Amino acid sequence: MSNEFALEGRNISKSFREGEHSVRVLQGVDLQVAAGERLAILGRSGSGKSTLLHVLGGLTDPDEGEVIIAGTPIRDVGPAGRARIRNAQLGFVYQLHHLLPEFTALENVALPLLLGNASVREARAAATHMLDAVGLAERLDHRPSQLSGGERQRVAIARALVANPAVVLADEPTGNLDRQSAEQVFDVMLELARQSGTAFVIVTHDESLAAGLQRCLYLDDGRLSEVGL
């Protein structure tokens, strides 16, 4: 990567209409995520954390400012180019796993590579490797309904990392899990982040989990500030 940052947000502002009023959710947010960095974004419910992730992931356009992913300003590319950047440079993990229920774990993880024009053989080999890395080598042919909540999130993590993206954006990835499962999934994410050199931006309400990351930011009144935990 020619740019020292995996992800940048510059002067990002975003508002939404509520009836006759405009509510500004993000106000001139600046964020730089170094290659391989692991950081948390904390904030009260409704503070705009998910909105910020959607903007950083190119899923929602900011009203002002720009997003740069792996050195490429996404406002400079059209919808097709933005989709290619998301598939190649970004991974996503959500509170709900968003796995395709009719696909096996292997097929779900292989999908981003197939969308990126990898061969079936290459995609299956990479997906098998990633599922082994998250401890699911014995679950390749299981569908989501046959997996526990923690296992489904591990599949989602494998899918997010299989294309070796610059950064993974995770929105409350352990929010639906019990404490033990949450800690196990979090540990898997951090270990894979260290091994792969992929940056992680994790939105979480759990300060004890966030404290295990390299940097913690707090979103309040539309602005980000750095905090120590």
Q: Structure tokens of 40?
A: 């948390």
Amino acid at 182: A
pLDDT score, position 3 = 53
CATH of residue 131's domain is 3.40.50.300
Task: Measure the CA–CA gap between 137 and 140, rounded to whole angstroms.
Answer: 6
Bridge partners, residue 93, by sequence: 170
- The pLDDT tens digits along the chain (229 residues) read 445 799 999 999 999 887 778 888 899 999 999 998 999 999 888 788 989 999 999 888 999 999 999 888 988 888 888 888 888 889 898 877 689 999 999 999 999 999 888 999 999 999 999 999 999 999 999 999 999 988 998 999 999 999 989 999 998 887 777 888 888 888 888 888 888 889 999 998 888 888 888 899 999 988 998 887 5
Amino acid at 67: V
Task: Measure the CA–CA gap between 186 and 58, rounded to whole angstroms.
Answer: 25
Task: Measure the CA–CA gap between 182 and 173, rounded to whole angstroms.
Answer: 8
In the sheet that 199-203 helps form, which strands lie side by side, from edge to edge?
90-94, 167-171, 199-203, 38-42, 215-220, 223-227
Task: Measure the CA–CA gap between 193 and 205, rounded to whole angstroms.
Answer: 20
CA nearest to 185, candidates 136, 139, 124, 113: 136
pTM assigned to the model: 0.87
The structural domain count of the chain equals 1
Q: Which structural domain, as residue segments, surrounds residue 158?
A: 5-227
Q: Determine the 3-state secondary structure of 146 from DSSP.
A: helix
Spell out the residues 6+ positions from residue 82 whose beta carbon is closer than 8 angstroms to its own. Answer: 58, 74
